[in-house]
Amino acid sequence: MCLCECVCVCVCVSVSMAALCRLCVWGCVWVCVWVCVLPTARAEGCNMTGLWRSGLGSAVHLAERGGGALRGRYMTAVEVQKGDAAPESDVMGVRNTGRNPTFSFSVAWAAGSTTSWVGQCFVQEDGQEVLKTMWLLRSSATSPQENWAAVRIGEDTFHRSPGNVVSEQLRAGA
Residue 9 lies inside a defined structural domain of this protein: yes
Same-domain check for residues 149 and 71: yes
Are 45 and 123 spatial neighbours (Cβ–Cβ below 8 Å)? yes
Whether 110 has a pLDDT exceeding 50, the answer reads yes
Structure confidence at residue 2 (pLDDT): 43
- Domain range for residue 18? 3-35
CATH code for position 76:
2.40.128.30
Q: Give the mean pLDDT of the chain.
A: 75
- Structure confidence at residue 14 as a pLDDT band (50, 70, 90): very low
Q: Please give the C-alpha separations between residue 140 and each of 32, 85, 130, 165, in angstroms, as whole numbers.
A: 54, 13, 31, 32
What confidence category does residue 164 fall into, taking pLDDT thresholds of 50, 70 and 90? low
> Does residue 41 belong to any structural domain of this protein?
no
Evaluate if residue 55 carries a pLDDT over 80.
yes
The torsion defined by the Cα of 138, 141, 146 and 151, in degrees rounded to 10, comes to: 0
The stretch 118-138 carries a mean pLDDT of 96
Query: Are 58 and 140 within one domain?
Result: yes
Query: pLDDT of 15-43, one tens digit each?
Result: 444 444 444 443 443 333 333 433 444 45
Better pLDDT: 44 or 19: 44
Asked whether residue 116 falls in the same domain as residue 158, the answer is yes
20 and 69 together in one domain: no
In a shared domain, residues 62 and 141:
yes
Whether the predicted pLDDT of 9 surpasses 70 = no
Say if residue 114 is in the same domain as residue 157: yes
pTM exceeds cut of 0.85:
no
**Residue 22 CB burial class (10 angstroms; 0-12, 13-18, ≥19):** exposed
The structural domain count of the chain equals 2
List Cα–Cα distances, 118 to 17, 59, 134, in angstroms.
56, 16, 6
Do 27 and 56 belong to one domain? no
DSSP state for residue 82 in the 8-state scheme: T
Residue of 112, 102, 115 whose CA lies nearest to 60: 115
First and final C-alpha spacing in the chain: 48
